[in-house]
């Protein structure tokens, strides 16, 4: 079978790999669609993603959906041909302290599809077929395509970030950064009952995407707009230079959720307002099981198709990664992995 493998910075190849077979409790999934994430781009361009450094060749991809091709011994609840999306995480078996009960994204080790965080690396699913634990699969209801199902994972990341704000029903939220995750935060906030969501970015095309996913208003920072003051803020740009303006726009005793990945190296940032405004600044890392809610929201009518801006066949994966890295268009670039 074919797989998208990164060997180092600027070295992405489509290679032949053996077709795997499922063992007990496992399922072979014929992959159909995969969404390119910022971590995929970072491995392809830099050979690293945050603190995770590429040491060996790695199959990319964790935003994926496909169809059950073969059931391993003991698997129930699925049939051949079922459409599924995938929870990419495998937490370690250490016991979480009581204060972290249920927060499985915060285990000491969480092995994630397409991640070089640990050695050996965890191969991802930008390939024609992948063996996965049955517990990782989430069935896609009738009417939810695998093309849309591949967006459930990034939507889960956005839902987790919104959940870190607490109950947002009837509230106003400011989202700084309207890329894929920022625009999905807009959609997640509206789905969770936010009354008004304002999206801000330096890219007018990204702001159009945020509007398509439910933003009530936008601020074009490249045109001189300023961030409005808000009690609830989600910082989705991951740009350290933006932090000063974001904190200044956060109301006194307000809350900022940091979902945009910040650099792993020392970077200057003006943070004085964090203290003088008594701001609560919280991180948001991946998700717990919000992917199940994401599938339900899509099934119940949440339209994420405006997020999909380009699609490429599997054999053009290097070109797809370049398109995503250079942001030829805002939104999500998808790979067509295994469709006749």
pLDDT per residue of the chain (340 residues) written in tens, 0 to 9: 999 999 999 999 999 999 999 999 999 999 999 999 999 999 999 999 988 999 999 999 999 999 999 999 999 999 999 999 999 999 999 999 999 999 999 999 999 999 999 999 999 999 999 999 999 999 999 999 999 999 999 999 999 999 999 999 999 999 999 999 999 999 999 999 999 999 999 999 999 999 999 999 999 999 999 999 999 999 999 999 999 999 999 999 999 999 999 988 899 999 999 999 999 999 999 999 999 999 999 999 999 999 999 999 999 999 999 999 998 778 999 999 986 4
| Residue 68 and residue 146 in one domain | yes
| Residue 175 and residue 236 in one domain | yes
Question: How would you classify the pairing of strands 11-16 and 2-8?
Answer: antiparallel
| Residue 242 and residue 313 in one domain | no
| Residue 106 and residue 163 in one domain | no
| Residue 130 and residue 216 in one domain | no
CATH of the domain at 160: 3.40.50.720
| Residue 308 and residue 242 in one domain | no
| Residue 256 and residue 314 in one domain | no
pTM above threshold 0.95: yes
| Residue 36 and residue 127 in one domain | yes
Domain of residue 97, residue span: 2-151+304-336
Residue 299 resides in a domain: no
């Amino acid at each position: 079978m074919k797989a998208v493998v990164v060997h180092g910075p600027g070295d992405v190849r489509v290679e032949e790999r053996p077709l795997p077979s499922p063992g007990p409790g496992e399922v072979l999934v014929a992959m159909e669609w995969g969404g390119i994430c910022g971590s995929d781009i970072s491995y392809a361009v830099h050979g690293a993603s945050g603190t995770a450094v590429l040491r060996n060749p790695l199959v990319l991809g964790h935003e994926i959906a496909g169809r059950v091709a073969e059931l391993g011994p003991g698997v129930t609840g699925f049939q051949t041909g079922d459409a599924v999306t995938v929870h990419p995480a495998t937490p370690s078996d250490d016991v979480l302290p009581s204060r972290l009960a249920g927060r499985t994204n915060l285990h000491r080790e969480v092995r994630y599809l397409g991640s070089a965080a640990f050695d050996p690396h965890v191969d991802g699913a930008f390939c024609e077929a992948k063996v996965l634990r049955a517990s990782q699969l989430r069935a896609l209801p009738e009417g939810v395509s695998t093309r849309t199902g591949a967006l459930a994972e990034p939507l889960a990341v956005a839902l987790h970030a919104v959940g870190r704000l607490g109950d947002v029903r009837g509230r106003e939220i400011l989202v700084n950064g309207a890329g894929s995750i920022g625009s999905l935060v807009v959609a997640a906030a509206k789905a969770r009952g936010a009354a008004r969501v304002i999206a801000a970015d330096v890219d007018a095309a990204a702001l159009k995407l945020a509007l398509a996913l439910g933003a009530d208003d936008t601020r074009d920072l490249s045109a001189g707009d300023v961030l409005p003051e808000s009690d609830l803020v989600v910082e989705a740009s991951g740009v350290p230079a933006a932090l000063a303006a974001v904190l200044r726009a956060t109301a006194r005793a307000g809350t900022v959720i940091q979902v945009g990945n910040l650099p792993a190296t020392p970077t200057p940032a003006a943070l004085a307002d964090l203290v003088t405004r008594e701001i609560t600044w919280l991180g948001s890392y991946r998700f717990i099981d919000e992917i199940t809610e994401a599938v339900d929201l899509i099934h119940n009518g949440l339209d994420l198709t405006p997020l999909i801006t380009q699609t490429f066949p599997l054999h053009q994966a290097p070109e797809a990664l370049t398109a995503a890295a250079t942001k030829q268009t805002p939104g999500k670039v998808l790979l067509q992995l295994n469709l006749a």
